Amino acid sequence: MNPAAAEIARLQDPDGCFPSEVLDREGRRPDCNGFTTALVLRQLRHLPDEVLPTRTYSAALDFLESCRSSQLEGAFGFRPETQRPAWAPRLPADLDDTAILTLELLRAGRISRRAGLRTVLTVLVPHRFSGRTGEIYPPWVMPGAFLTWVGKPGRRNVIDCCVNANAAALMARVGGAGLPGYAEAVGTITQGVAWAGGQPSRQQAVTPFYPSIHGLHEAVEHAVECGVTDLGPTLARLRELAAGAPPARGCCCSAYGGTVWSCPALVAAQALRRIQMSA
């Protein structure tokens, strides 16, 4: 087995999760979640099936399925509802995890295209920024763009360009590009990247749950691959911005960066992908 592939398999927990490390003002703590586990699988999507043992893929997919929401069919949360650490806030399901985990389960044949489309219709489409008077959002947000949280009344629901890129990717993959929210997501991402430019503070503002421009570059690259072709010019601009940015300091964060997650298996998967692509 390739040394990088062996390292990925070694880093997997028995339950299938690829664990993360959380860094905040309290120090470093371990965390197991579906988000980083799904991103590891996303990085491996083009590699031959024999690169990693079948049991590694299968266990990871089992873990993703354990992150399903008990409150809304088709939705997913950041981690299994029964595995919330004592230090972590109780959060509802969200559109980012729903889109990312659904796509990986769809790729693996664990769910059907029809089920993926049903998720788009019942989870994604109803949770969008209405644009009504009194709802104040940044100028780059288009009315109709996707919100982040599912079922979070009474609290501000932050809009993130990465969330919208992942939502659009799922919609394109299941044939839902004509549904409400798709064009608005594309427009929000396009306007957000243009507004942020090379300013780090603005880049953080358009991706509050991702700690660097590299996360948006990866999300838009993946979305274009899934069929969101209107984001092609924006992807070209993001390549330029990512090339000139400092290295990523993690793969996700609490809103606007107070707590940052990193995942050793994701770093190993990214290295393996680079090796395979240059071979």
Residue 236 has a CB neighbour count (10 Å cut-off) of: 11
Beta pairing partners, 225: none
The pLDDT, as a whole number, for residue 43 is 95
Average pLDDT over residues 221-227: 98
Give the strand pairing for 252-253 and 20-24: unpaired
Angle CA 258–261–263, to nearest 5: 165
Above 90 in pLDDT, residue 41? yes
State whether CATH 1.10.3470 applies to domain 3-278: no
Q: How high is the mean pLDDT of the chain?
A: 94
pLDDT average, residue stretch 247-254: 93
**Distance separating alpha carbons of residues 5 and 262, to the nearest angstrom:** 18
Which residues lie below 8 Å from residue 53, measured CB to CB, with a gap of 6+?
Answer: 1, 9
CA distance 186 to 255: 22
By residue count, the chain amounts to 279
pLDDT band at 152 (very low <50, low <70, confident <90, very high): low
Per-residue pLDDT tens digits for 203-215: 999 999 999 999 9
What is the band of 279 on the pLDDT scale with cuts at 50, 70, 90? low
pLDDT tens string 87-129: 998 889 999 999 999 999 999 999 999 999 999 999 999 999 9
What value does the mean pLDDT take over residues 254-273?
Answer: 93
- pLDDT of 155 reads 55
Residue type, position 33, single letter: N
pLDDT at 238 over 90: yes
Residue 57 has pLDDT above 90, yes or no: yes
* CA 178 – CA 243 distance, rounded (Å): 33
pLDDT band at residue 132 under the 50/70/90 scheme? confident
Question: CB–CB of 60/12 below 8 Å?
Answer: yes
Q: What is the DSSP string of 18-85?
A: --EEEEETTEEEEE--HHHHHHHHHHTTTS-GGGS-HHHHHHHHHHHHTTB-SSSTT-B-SS-GGG--
CA atoms within 13 A on the CB side of 144: 12
| Segments making up each domain of the chain, as ranges | 3-278
* Of 24-33, 150-159, 169-178, highest mean pLDDT: 169-178
CA distance 182 to 166: 11
Angle separating helix axes 182-196 and 232-243, nearest 10 degrees: 30
Q: Encoding tokens for residue 74?
A: 């088709």
d(CA 113, CA 157): 28
pLDDT: is 266 or 25 the higher one?
A: 266
Bridge partners (DSSP) of residue 24 are: 27
